[in-house]
Each structure stands twice: as C-alpha cells, then as structure tokens.
Amino acid sequence: MNDAPHALDAGPPHAATVVARTQESPTIFTLRLRLDDPAAQAAYRFAPGQFNMLYLYGVGEVPISIMSDPEERDGIGHTIRAIGRVTQGLAALQPGDQIGLRGPFGNGWPLQEMGGCDVVLVTGGLGCAPVVSVIHYVLRRRERFGKLVIIQGVKHAEDLIWREQYDRWAKLPNTQVLVAASEGGALWPWHVGRVTDLFSLARFNPERAVAMMCGPEGMMRAAADSLLAHRLPESNLYLSMERNMQCAVGRCGHCQFGSAFICRNGPVFNWGKVKTLLGHRGF
Amino acid sequence: MLVGQLMQQGYQCFGPGVENGAIVLHELATPDAIPRGLQAVQSPGRYQLTQDPEQRYFAWANGPQAIKPLAFAPTESLWRVARDASGTLQFSAVLPAAPKRALIGVRACDLAALALQDAHFLRAGARDAHYAQRRDALLLVAVQCAAPAATCFCASTGDGPTPTAGYDIALAELADGFVVEAGSARGQHVVDALRLSPALAQHIDDARKQGESAAAAQTRRLPGRNLRDALMSQLEHPRWDAVAARCLACGNCTAVCPTCFCHAEVDQPALSGESSAHVREWDSCFGESHGHLHGFNVRPDIRSRYRQWLTHKLAGWHDQFGRSGCTGCGRCIAWCPVGIDLTEEVAALTAREATP
C-alpha cells in the first residue's frame, strides 16, 4: 500500500476537461477527465483504490474514487452517483466542459503484495467503483494472480451497473462472478438475497487469498464475518472506507475514524485496523 | 514599556481588552492600552467580568479566545477560480498577508494548544501554507497564570499554569513588577532593548511560588494524562446518553477549544458569476453536516457527536499527536450554555465502578 503515488495537493485544483461521459444507470454516470496541462496529464499517476477531488465551478468539491486502469491513457475515469449538490451538477457536464481536479489521494489496494494469490472482491451498491479498477488491474495482469472471484450485492436489480461487463467477466477462465440483489426483478439471472449468501458458492483457497471489500459498512461487517469464518486470515482482508472528505490532505478533520484520517491513512485499511470501531455506530 | 518596544520594532501588538463582556486578545492602539484590574469569574456555563482589587494587568484566566484565531483563521480563502465567457476556468492560490504580530498575555495552556495546532497544520512534508504564513509572523509573550478560574485544570494536564516552552518572552507578574525571561533569540532581542535590571533571586522565587500556588488552587482535574484506553473501553456507557440529553450540539465547546482544528471547505461564488472563492471556515463535529455522507449521516444523533468529540480529544489525539488534545484551559466548561463539565463527564465515564 506504500507504493501509492502521493502528491500533497491541497489546491488550487488543476483544470481538467471532460473527454467522455457515459450514463451507467438513471442516476449513475462515468466521466473520463483529462488534465488540461499536457505535462500534468503525462505525469499523472495513481494506484487503484485512490481517489480524486473533483471541483464543480462555484459549487464545491467531492471525493470520487478512480475507476480506470493506471495504465490507461485516454483519461482518468470516475463513476459517480448523482445524489448531492456537487454530483448532481457534475451529472449535467458534457464532453468539452471544464472542471477542477486534485489528487490522487490516499493509499491504494495492496496489489503489489498479492502476487500469486486468489483475489476475492466483495462490493455492495456503487462500492464496485473503487474495486472495478482492481478487476481491470487483475485482468490486464492475469498471470500474476490466482482465481478472481467477484461478489457484488445491490439493493434492487436495476441498481446493477456494468451488467454486460459482469456477464463478460463471468465467461473468463479462472474467474467467478456472483451477484445478488435484495430485490430481484424480471429476467434477473442472479441470486435474490443478501451478498453474504454467496460466500458458500465462492471457490477460492482461503490460505492463499486476499479479499477486498467496498460498500455499506453493515454489508462489509457481514461479509468480513463470512470470509473469516471461511478461514481467510484477517491480515488478508482489506476494505475501503468512506467519510465526508473535504480537504483530502488530512487537515479538515471530517473523515476521522478513531485516530485515522481516512483521506490520508486510508481509504484502504486492513480489517484488523478498523474492526473494533466498525462495531460501534456513530464513528 | 514592553509594548512600546514591540511597536517600535514593527510589531502589530495584540493584548488583553474587553469585547462583548469578555476578555479577549485584541489589537492595542497605544503602548499603554492594556487595562489593569480586569478579572473574570468562571464556572460551568458562566463567565462574568469582575475587578481585581490589586489592580494587576494579568490577574485573569483565559477568555473565550486567545491565540487560535490569529494562527488558524476562523474564515479565509484558500484559492480562487475565475470563469470567462467561454467557460474556461482559471485557478489561483490565495495567501494571506501576515504582518509581524506580538501577542501579549498568552497562557501556558494556549501555548501547549498552539504546539498541537502546529503539529497538525505544520506536519513535516505537509505544511499548511495559510497557517504557516500567520504562525511564522507571531511573537509570543507569555504570562504566568497567577489567578486560575474555577474552570481551569491545566495543572492536571501538565500544561500550566507556568509557561515552560513555546514562548519568545515569558512574564511573571508580581506585586511590585514583572520577572521577564526570553525564550528565543527573537525574544532576547526585544528583552535586550528594554535594558532591564537583573531579576533578584527573591523575585524569581516569588514567581515560582506564585505558579505553585496557582496550580494548587485549581479545583478541577482530569483523572490521568492518557485516558485513551479508559475511554475507548466505554463506548456504549449510559453516560453518553445522559450527556446527550443535556448537550444542545451548539458547537460552542469546539469554537472556544484552542486545539480543535476541524474546518469546512465551502465555495462562495461571486454574484457576477465570474469567479468563486474556495473558503475554509471553522467547523464543529457537533454540527449536522460534519458527519454527512452522500444521503446519510454517520453521526445522526448528539450522543454520537459528543462521543466523537470527547474520544477524539482525549483518545484519538494520543495516536495522532502523541498526547491528549486537551490542555486544561476549561473554556469548554465556561462557554457551554448548559454547563456541561468535561472533567465531570470524563470522571463518570472512566469511574472504576461497573456500569450501572
């Protein structure tokens, strides 16, 4: 996790232009951004699991994880749900529009330490965004990893974005895709129920596996219980945390979780570091 | 004499004065502008100005604010962005002007708190330019606290009442004058220019004794210097519900706390639509927006907000900064509108008895 590129980028942001916009679901969209300064764009590096602060003119900033692959050169990908003042404004952007970007921030997933391991990804809701960069990362470097197990849970069937991608991933060798919706729907091909129902179907070697989780904290707690019960060592269980990050450089105090500044010490944590506080509501 | 010398050396001088019925550090217009005989009675939820019969300059314990707003500004622009007719954005940094400032009459608790703010905002490799600009321009003239308020407990946190570090000049006010000591080269430069006669051993001894009796006079205390484990093992204690029933979540405690560093970043667009300022302003973990997260709040109730504040202050700081975040100034007790007493809450939460 220490290899994540770090820039102390407290602002002002760098001007960036929307190069592509994709509507993923009625409320979820993806923006591909390119820094306007060609030298800054060429120098921009990040690790899967890190995030950027996106600035909408006159409105403010939001932390958004990076979903593209570090080696992709056609823009920095951000998948966003239009839910607040800034994200609803970002949703109206079109290619050619300009915004501000600071980052990348935080650490990344410990991908360097996972060579040869089975990779288990557990996500809930839009939690798949920080983890989809890991999927791309593993698929591009397939020979370095063992089995890839993708476990995704959503509340409603229509919340599942990248449905075709899940279908495509499911057909790949050595790759297992397990999807559950709490509420299914017409033509829902996957499981109806909780994401934790899926662990008994997952095929991986717990002694040589690393699990990464992202999504609602209740879901991650339940998933952690299941994974640990399946004998995954606690040291191989990681999660990405979310809080109200405003400065992204460990100053403003909003993202503190116990003594951690999630923007700086996280957002990726080993389960052992956060499990105690995750057991209490209100931190 | 000291103020005059500082003014002569080009310092904007800040010293005690009365604003809105409380003693604050404000800009001194003339070298003799420091009032004599001010005092304030403080108790939970109460602050009342009174007169010191001995007519001393510094016979008061801290008012609501001292150093913090002069280093970590309550509101300031971090950067600006201009937008032209074509929609092109131009970002630019904004740095504050920081004239040389001398603060006269700062206390040991606030010097300890400033050291913690320094640790936060001037972290190696991550200096906050705005804070650094103001902080570097401060000359600190400390005063030994001789008359602690009933809300003070710096002796139990190990931070006072006699300043031991972090000052440029330290004063001890005695019945017949001041004992002056330089704590830095800058301070020595000012002291040398005053051409003072050497302090008598008797005066130095009187100052030491004055500090000891001020410490002994404090009636409140924390039960230990490191309460991290004691508090973190009581996260579901019923006392959190009891304090939440009294707490108004007004944020006064965090506003007057000399170590609280939380701030919000907000945009203030110009009415013309042609530019916007990105501003930071003090924020409080008691506010509803502090724990806001897309569509829900991680701390929706006062219980979790009070617990967040207290466990951060007295537990989280040990991991983050190597010590507690409380320096015993007692402001959160005096300025709480319902008189919640931090020392009382901590005592109840960490009492050895089994939880009821």
Give the distance from residue A147's alpha carbon to the nearest chain B alpha carbon, in angstroms. 34
pLDDT at A127: 60
The verdict on A67 and A98 lying in the same domain is: yes
Question: In this predicted structure, what is the pLDDT of residue A25?
Answer: 85
Look at A100 and B236 and tell me if their CB atoms are within 8 Å.
no
What pTM, to 2 d.p., does this model score? 0.94
Exposure string of A58-88, with b = 16+ CB inside 10 Å and e = fewer, is bbbbbbbbbbbbbeeeebbbbbbbeebebbe
Separation of alpha carbons B16 and B6, rounded Å: 15
Which pair of tokens denotes residue A197?
Answer: 């129902």
The residue among A266, A282, A231 whose CA lies nearest residue A106 is: A266
| A183 and A199 in a common domain | yes
Indicate yes or no: CB of A252 within 8 angstroms of CB of B264: yes
Contact A98 B88 (CB under 8 A): yes
Q: Per the domain annotation, does A180 fall within a domain?
A: yes
- Segments in chain B below pLDDT 50: 354-356
pLDDT score of A7: 61
Tell me, yes or no, whether A82 and A159 share the same domain: no
Question: How many domains does chain A contain in total?
Answer: 2
Give A198: exposed, middle or buried? Use CB within 10 Å, 0-12, 13-18, 19+. Answer: buried
Question: Which residue in B has a C-alpha nearest to residue A81's C-alpha?
Answer: B294
Same domain assignment for residues A45 and A88: yes
- Give the CATH number of the domain where residue A204 resides: 3.40.50.80
Q: Is A202 helix (H, G, I), strand (E, B) or coil?
A: coil
* Chain B residues whose beta carbon lies within 8 Å of the beta carbon of residue A8: 125-126
State which of A52, A80, A105 marks the end of a domain. Answer: A105
Residues A207 and A172 in one domain: yes
A153 located within any domain: yes
Confidence grade of residue A9 (pLDDT, cut at 50, 70, 90): confident
Q: Is A244 on the interface with B (CB under 8 A)?
A: yes
B276, A58: Cβ pair inside 8 Å? yes
Let me know whether A115 and A98 are in one domain. Answer: no
The minimum CA-CA distance between A113 and chain B, rounded to whole Å, is 26
pLDDT digits (tens, 9 = 90+) for A228-253: 999 999 999 999 999 999 999 999 99
Pairs of CB atoms within 8 A across A/B = 128
Average pLDDT over residues A30-58: 95
pLDDT at A59 over 50: yes
| pLDDT at position A2 | 42
- Tokens representing A218 are 């209740």
Are A196 and A219 part of one and the same domain? yes
One domain for residues A31 and A86: yes
For residue A280, is it within any domain? no
Tell me: do A22 and A121 sit in the same domain: no
- Same domain assignment for residues A27 and A146: no
Test the A interface: residue of B127, B232, B241, B265 with most A CBs within 10 Å? B265
User: Which residue of chain A has the CA closest to B79?
Assistant: A12
Backbone angles phi, psi at B336, to 5 degrees: -75, 120
**Contact criterion met (CB < 8 Å) for A252 and B283:** yes
Question: Does residue A275 lie in a domain region?
Answer: no
Measured between CA atoms, how close is A244 to chain B, in angstroms?
5
Residues 123-182 of A with CB under 8 A from B: none
- Which residues of chain B have a CB within 8 Å of the CB of A11? 78-79, 91, 93, 278
Q: How far A179 CA lies from chain B's nearest CA (Å)?
A: 24
What pLDDT does residue A236 have? 96
Residue-wise pLDDT tens digits, A111-161? 988 889 999 999 987 667 778 889 989 999 999 999 999 999 988 887 788
**Nearest CB to A256; choose among B280, B289, B312:** B312
How far apart are the C-alpha atoms of A8 and B125, rounded to whole Å?
A: 8
Helix/strand/coil (H/E/C) assignment for every residue in chain B: CHHHHHHHCCCEEEEEEEECCEEEEEECCCCCCCCCCEEEEEECCEEEEEECCCCCCCCCCCCCCCCHHHHCCCEEEEEEEEECCCCCEEEEECCCCCCCEEEEEECHHHHHHHHHHHHHHCCCCCCCHHHHHHHHCEEEEEECCCCCCCCCCHHHHCCCCCCCCCCCEEEEEECCEEEEEECCHHHHHHHHHHCCCCCCHHHHHHHHHHHHHHHHCCCCCCCCCCCHHHHHCCCCCCHHHHHHHHCCCCCHHHHHCCCCCCEEEEEEECCCCCEEEEEEEECCCCCCCCCEECCEECCCCHHHHHHHHHHHHHHHHHHHHCCCCCCCCCHHHHCCCCCCCHHHHHHHHHCCCCCC
Angstrom distance (rounded) from CA A23 to CA A161: 10
Q: At what angle do helices B302-311 and B342-350 cross, to 10 degrees?
A: 90
CATH code of residue A76: 2.40.30.10
| Residue A5 counted as domain residue | no
| φ, ψ at A279 (rounded to 5°) | -80, -5
Cβ contact, residue pair A259, B125, below 8 Å: no
Query: So what's the pLDDT on residue B213?
Result: 96
ipTM: 0.92
pLDDT of the residue at A115 = 85
Contact state of A58 with B267 under an 8 Å Cβ cutoff? yes
Q: Rounded to whole angstroms, how far apart are CA atoms A55 and B89?
A: 11
Q: CA-to-CA distance for B146 and B132, rounded, in angstroms? A: 31
> Which residue range is the domain that position A41 belongs to?
14-105
Label residue B187 exposed, middle or buried (CB < 10 Å: 0-12, 13-18, 19+): buried
Least confident of A37-51, A65-79, A115-129, A197-211: A115-129
Do A97 and A48 share a structural domain? Answer: yes
Tell me how close the Cα of B210 comes to any Cα of chain A, in angstroms. Answer: 38
How many Å lie between the alpha carbon of A252 and the closest alpha carbon of chain B? 5
Structure confidence at residue A1 (pLDDT): 43
The pLDDT, as a whole number, for residue B22 is: 96
A100 with A141, same domain: the answer is no
The beta-carbon neighbor of B79 closest among A8, A12, A259 is: A12
User: What is residue A12's three-state secondary structure?
Assistant: coil
Question: Where is the domain boundary, A89, A105, A121?
Answer: A105
Measure the CA–CA gap between A244 and A60, rounded to whole angstroms: 13
> Is the link from the previous residue into B163 a cis peptide, with omega within 30 of 0?
no
Q: Which residue reads 């999630």 in tokens?
A: A262
**Mutant choice from B228, B267, B313 vs A, greatest count of A C-beta within 10 A:** B267
B64-79 confidence digits (pLDDT tens): 999 999 999 999 999 9
